[in-house]
A and B are shown apart, each in its own frame.
Chain A
Amino acid sequence: MNLSETGSTTAAPAAGAGKTRKTAAARRIDPRHDPRTVAVLVLPFSVLYVAFYILPIAYAVWQSLFALERSGPMRPAVSVFVGLKNYASAILDPAFHRSLLNVLAYGLGPSALTVILGLVIALVIDARPNKKVAKLARAAVFSPFAVPAVVGAIIWGFLYTPDTSPLVDAARSIGWDLNPLAWSPIWTIGNIAMWTYMGFNALIFLSALAALDPSIFESARVDGASPLRIALHIKIPLMWPSIVLSIVFNLIGTLQLFTEPTALRTLSNEISSGWSPSMLAYAEAAANRYSVSATLSTLLAIVTAIVSFALLRLTVRKPRA
């Protein structure tokens, strides 16, 4: 779509008087503008996109309109059409509310800290232009992101467990009765996520910083601005689009939180099976209530879309004003 549009606009000014004939000729010369070529190129993606993205979503929405019914205490269940009834009961379900409150607390706590700490790390690395040190620091903070999430969560689980943890041993040897498993799940989970994604966020910010024109900071320094002032008043406002992007990434990650709490559940008694909305949807599917699971998933997708768009709308306008 985009391709052919840009094609015709670039062709237009050069065309002049014999517009239609010339564009037709251009099309013949450049096969990239042939709609058939476009179709062939786009086809593999479209097929996969429809088969593995659009159709499952449509099927989930369709499934969410059904509920189970039985004619007796030991009779098999039959699926019957109930319209939007599942949505009404999901919206009123206290378990769904609890899971949303959990991710809300998580979003305001560890998730927000991930962005803030990522930003701090990026600004610190950027302020020390020693290339070798910067390279090393960048690799160091980014490396946790390369560890698969489940592996990271399991290893952190062992670090939390007093009997297997060298950290707890060390803390206890200096008289600090550390027991991370007794912390609120928000922070046992949050710590893992922060460890994983802080560096990823820092990397986004670093590439945003690298794209900025260094002469701005040069003149600011000449004007006598301190590095902190440059960071707060020049770098951060200029980085604003990537900060918003990072916030949206973290927000989506928060609403879809699943891997870390699921992996920690075997070690901590405080994480329930429906701790986050994704876990709740998963637990319902595990209990063979596919319709309820589909309803929760659809609701979660709607909430994620609304919150993401709202955030983009609100924050992108700010620096312009």
Chain B
Amino acid sequence: MRMFARQGIGVAGHGLKGISLTGLLLSGVVAFGAAPALAQSADSASSACKPTDGPVELSYWSWGAGYADATSLWNSLHPEIQVVYSDIPVSNSGGYQKMFNAVKAGTAPDIGFLEFDNIAAFGSQGYLADIAPYFTDEEKADFLDPVKVLAALGVEGAMYSTPIGGGPMALIYRKDLFDAAGIALPRTWAELEVAAAKVREVDAGATLINFDGYGHANWFAGLSSQHGAQWFGVDGNDWRISVNDAATKETAELWQRMLDSGAASDLSTFSPAWSSALAEGRIWSWPTAVWGAGVIKGAAPATAGNWAVAPLPVWNEADKVSAIWGGGGLSVFNTSAHPCEAARFSLWMATDPEALKIMNAAVGIYPTTKSLLADPIFTQPDEFFGGQKIFDVFLEASAQTPDFTWGPSMTDTYKSITDAFSLAKANGTSLAASLDDAQAAVVSSMEKDGFTVKQ
């Protein structure tokens, strides 16, 4: 992200601000635009927000349990601003495509949930409004730095998203099974590889871990970034692409070894087969993001109390680095007639403790603001995890988020990678070698997207 910010400002800042300004003018909201408001202090929110006469209705597209219920709470509290929630397919599995199609058809919602890795895909097209002017400096300062960087898209002071939940990763594991087998908790990936072999000896029908990369390249992206991979960068007027860099290939090789020896399973993640393997103790651990805690609770309710959360294994014990998988926030489309109300609603969703409590009960949500981190919901012990205060682990992970630049069309990049992995599996070739095919596919796709590309 650092590099992106340094080199992206000039180019990106120009394009994005210009577009969002036009968006504002088109929607007839503020005649003065975003730029002057940015310069103002303290109560810039009130000056940029022109109150609308009469009731306002906003459309809001998202997925994930709990979001609809939180929206209902808002509606009961704010009769003058009613939000209509629509459940759409999950992110890369159709949700973003639906949003892109809606923009093309002129029927985009006011508000859409975008994961951090996909904000640039919409932002680079000029589809999103910069909502920073609608927040006070105090409100903006409360957001944690890592998520603020992700929401800014390299534009100083801009916010193309109101971050709702982070996606810090950790290792969720069956503590009871590890203890019974006398296997120590792995702190490094090398230790995990050894432990995975031991699990096979203890229980031939079980594996320590599942490879989620076949269907979920964003999971693999996170783990590669933990090892120092840099898939994207801006180089002058070009994108530099290297989804097959050395760190990524080493990550692939680690998993290849475990897949070849049978130490890692290759079930399709989130499929019924995968869920029942988790529920029946045939997969002992899952390197996943904070929301994965909620997924496990849903998939394996009978195993409550047997799980625990540990930091993600690292490559080098001296370097404490974690990763993110998912996480995101609410973006306001620049076609919205009420960007201010939309921004205020998104801030409420992200920061209201009651809203967070509803969403957190349904899916694990990692807060994005400093004040919420101190809220009791995030400091309470969790009985499902044997009374562990699991958010402590995720807090530590969040501070160790690696610098990683997201490309302008991540859904498409993920597709190139999962396709290459599928092909490798079908042909019995190696994941690492298939990354070269993925690289070629990403380069070709981005050229078709009209970008100039360097390898």
Enumerate chain A interface residues (CB-CB to B < 8 A): 67-70, 72-78, 89, 93, 95, 98, 158, 161-164, 184-185, 266-274, 283, 286-289, 292
Contact = CB atoms under 8 A, between A and B. Distances in A.
B411 A287 contact: yes
Given A73-B408, A270-B426, A273-B415, A68 B449 contact: yes
A274 B419 contact: yes
Contacts of B234: 73-74
A184 B426 contact: yes
Interface in B202-244: 214-215, 234, 237-239
A76 B448 contact: no
Given A266-B268, A287-B415, A77 B426 contact: no
B455 to A, nearest CB: 15
A296 B311 CA distance: 46
Interface in B434-455: 441, 444-445, 448-452
Given A162-B273, A163-B273, A269-B215, A76 B419 contact: no
B449 A76 contact: no
Contacts of B411: 286-287
Contacts, number: 107
A269 B214 contact: yes
Contacts of A288: 100, 409, 449
Contacts of A70: 449-452
9 contacts: A67-B450, A74-B234, A76-B15, A77-B449, A93-B444, A98-B423, A267-B271, A269-B266, A288-B409
B210 to A, nearest CB: 11
Interface centre among B154, B421, B426, B441 (most CB of A within 10 A): B426
B3 to A, nearest CB: 12
Closest 4 CB pairs of A and B: A68-B450, A269-B214, A74-B12, A272-B419
Contacts of B239: 73
Nearest to A268: B268
A72 B15 contact: yes
Nearest to B451: A70
Nearest to B272: A164
A184 B418 CA distance: 17
Nearest to B127: A76
Given A270-B425, A273-B415, A76 B272 contact: no
Interface of B: 8, 11-12, 15-16, 19, 97, 100, 120, 123-126, 153-154, 214-215, 234, 237-239, 266, 268, 271-273, 276-277, 408-409, 411-412, 415, 418-419, 421-423, 425-426, 441, 444-445, 448-452
Given A68-B450, A270-B422, A272-B418, A73 B268 contact: no
Interface centre among A70, A162, A271, A292 (most CB of B within 10 A): A70
Nearest to B414: A273
B15 A74 contact: yes
Given A67-B450, A69-B450, A74-B8, A273 B273 contact: no
Contacts of B100: 288
B313 to A, nearest CB: 24
Q: Interface of chain B, helix or strand or loop or mixed?
A: helix
Interface centre among A162, A266, A288 (most CB of B within 10 A): A288
Contact of A76 (B126, B153, B214, B452): B126
A70 B11 CA distance: 12
Contacts of A268: 268
A76 to B, nearest CB: 5
A162 B100 CA distance: 37
Given A73-B238, A74-B120, A163-B277, A269 B421 contact: yes
Given A287-B409, A287-B415, A292-B448, A74 B422 contact: no
A158 B421 CA distance: 23
A76 B19 contact: yes
Nearest to A288: B100
A104 to B, nearest CB: 16
A95 B442 CA distance: 12
B422 A75 contact: no
Contacts of A185: 426
B275 to A, nearest CB: 9
A266 B216 CA distance: 11
A77 B144 CA distance: 32
Contacts of B126: 76
Nearest to B103: A288
Contacts of B419: 272-274
Contacts of A74: 8, 11-12, 15-16, 120, 123-124, 153-154, 234, 408
B422 A271 contact: yes
Given A73-B11, A266-B271, 11 more contacts: A73-B234, A73-B451, A76-B126, A158-B272, A161-B271, A161-B273, A164-B273, A266-B268, A270-B425, A287-B412, A288-B409
B406 to A, nearest CB: 12
A89 B423 CA distance: 22
Contact of A286 (B19, B97, B238): B97
Interface centre among A161, A271, A274, A286 (most CB of B within 10 A): A286
Given A73-B238, A270-B422, A270-B425, A283 B415 contact: yes
A272 B423 contact: yes
Contacts of A161: 271-273
Contacts of A89: 448
A185 B421 CA distance: 15
Nearest to A162: B273
A161 B426 CA distance: 17
